[in-house]
Copies of this chain bind each other. A is one copy, B any other.
Amino acid sequence: MTAKSQTHWSGEPAELLRAGEGFRLADVDPDATPGYEGGKKNGRDDLAAGADQLDDLQERLFAQSRVVDGTPSVLLVLQAMDSAGKGGIVRHVVGSVDPQGVSLAAFKKPTSEELAHDFLWRIEKRVPEPGYIGVFDRSHYEDVLIGRVRQLAPADEIERRYGAIVDFEKRLTDAGTRIVKVMLHISPDEQKERLMERLDRPDKNWKYNPGDVDERKLWPAYMDAYQTVFERTSTPNAPWYVIPANAKWYARIAVQALLLEALEDIDPRWPAADFDVAAEKQRLAAT
């Protein structure tokens, strides 16, 4: 449905963007728009059309979960370097569906309480309930990204985490959660421009953090850490998708297409009433 009704897609985003066997992050061009034949304006139109589809599918999923036990959920995991556009995805893609069916968790620097527990402790608490679209703005992957680059934990602990993540996600998908893991991939030059804009515009200053430049200096180390993440945690049940994100409009329709695909795979239906409709009509009519 996604690729078919969004007529500017010439291929399946899920196929084209998946970090599968032999994937190399260094080969991805952040300026590319894989599988999409249109430009920015087409992208905007397709985003609006996709928003209606997403809205409809989300409502069905939510409805189903109110009546049917074991209804699946969807979990969108967003990772990226600073300014790559995670916020724009939340606002423009996730923001188009009913907030009542969305559970959004933004993971910041862990608190001391969180650090006293295993790294998955705070994550587990925010796993979406059945029928919800959960969104992780940053996630447990921080613990093998900045965690690795900044050596925030011993090497063997970092090493242990890849397996722990795979097991954790397996448990979620076994329980019916569709996990869509997205890395928004921008180029260092694009980041420089975006950070500079945050410095140039007084209404954007609040989005800038001096620490961003420190992380930026470690770009190659971060790319290595991401490459390792893809190799160790892109599984058939919870694959990674790497989305070229220099063009914001492309990143948005691509993430939307992945969400649509996950929901279409669930194929949520309006649930049958779990009460006697005719009897209730009579009861209501009598009031």
Where the two chains meet, the residues of A that have a C-beta atom closer than 8 Å to any C-beta of B are 63-64, 66-67, 87, 90-91, 94-95, 98-100, 102, 104, 106, 137, 192, 195-196, 199, 202-203, 205-208, 210, 213, 216-217, 270-273, 275, 277, 280-281, 283-285, 287
Q: Which residue of B lies closest to A101 (CB)?
A: B91
Decide: A192 and B91 in contact? CB cutoff 8 A: no
Decide: B192 and A287 in contact? CB cutoff 8 A: yes
Main secondary structure of the interface of A (DSSP, over half): helix
Residues of B within 8 A of A99 (CB): 90-91, 94-95, 99, 102, 104
One complex includes copies of this chain to the number of: 2
Among A195, A206, A272: residue with most chain B CB under 10 A: A206
Q: Which residue of B lies closest to A271 (CB)?
A: B206
Decide: B98 and A95 in contact? CB cutoff 8 A: yes
Q: Which of B100, B216, B285 contacts A87 (CB 8 A)?
A: B100
Decide: A284 and B196 in contact? CB cutoff 8 A: yes
Q: Which of B100, B203, B206, B281 contacts A91 (CB 8 A)?
A: B100
Decide: B208 and A280 in contact? CB cutoff 8 A: yes
